[in-house]
Amino acid sequence: MITAKLSPTLTIPPLENGDKLTRVEFERRYSAMPNVKKAELIEGVVYMASPLRITNHGEPHADIIGWLSFYKAFTPNLQLGDNCTVRLDLDNEPQPDALLRIQVGGQSTVSQDGYVEGAPELIVEIAASSVSLDLHQKLNVYRRNQVQEYLVWRVEDGEFDWFSLQQEQYIKLEPLENGIIYSQVFPGLWLDRAALLTGNLAKVLTVVQQGLASQEHEVFVKRLSQS
């Protein structure tokens, strides 16, 4: 009897949408598929991204990164991530569109192999076809793991949700009369929601620049500089 030998490339099964895996097995299969750019493990289930359009994901994503990058440039001891894998717990390894974390003295760390472990202070998801996942399963996972602020840009709905963790529940922050939402975790991180939703990036950056000039941001910078 002749026993067929499997090709080395076939010894690790590929990731498939809906697979139920441990985090270790998820990482093993994901690492073996370098052509796959985004896969997530949410509550033990694999989710793989669809092709991304520039209008409902690429450009909004770039605007968010630009806004956060501007803030980070003038705020020490922060790390900004774009599509970084995050090891949250044994059943959850998301790859959020953006994250902002305090590097020293924050609630997450970076592992020896370069992954974020634990909950970053702030996570942003750009939601088009993924709205159901982002506002239900992911929201519960991020809340349970103590992500302090969770932002969801629902592009096709023309909405932007900013959730703040308060007494272990997410409370949705609304703009004040001036149209600005103020971060509860990162002083000076201000957002003109209407400007963002209408594509007025210049105004978005002008408003965050005003936040960077605020007294609360100055106090925050001094505290971070001492970490």
pLDDT at 130: 62
138 and 219 in a common domain: yes
Angle at which helices 201-212 and 59-73 pack, to 10 degrees?
20
Residues of the domain holding 70: 52-225
pLDDT at 4: 39
pLDDT at 51: 80
113 and 90 in a common domain: yes
pLDDT at 129: 63
Between the alpha carbon of residue 18 and those of residues 21, 87, 140, 196, the distances in Å are 9, 19, 19, 34
pLDDT at 135: 84
45 and 56 in a common domain: no
In a domain, 3, yes or no: no
Mean pLDDT per 10-residue segment, the chain (227 residues): 42 90 94 91 91 90 98 98 96 97 96 96 87 85 97 94 96 96 98 97 98 98 90
141 and 157 in a common domain: yes
DSSP assignments along 69-124, one per residue: HHHHHTSTTEEEEES--EE-BTTBB---SEEEEESSSSSEEE-TTS-EEE--SEEE
Q: What is the pTM for the complete model shown?
A: 0.90
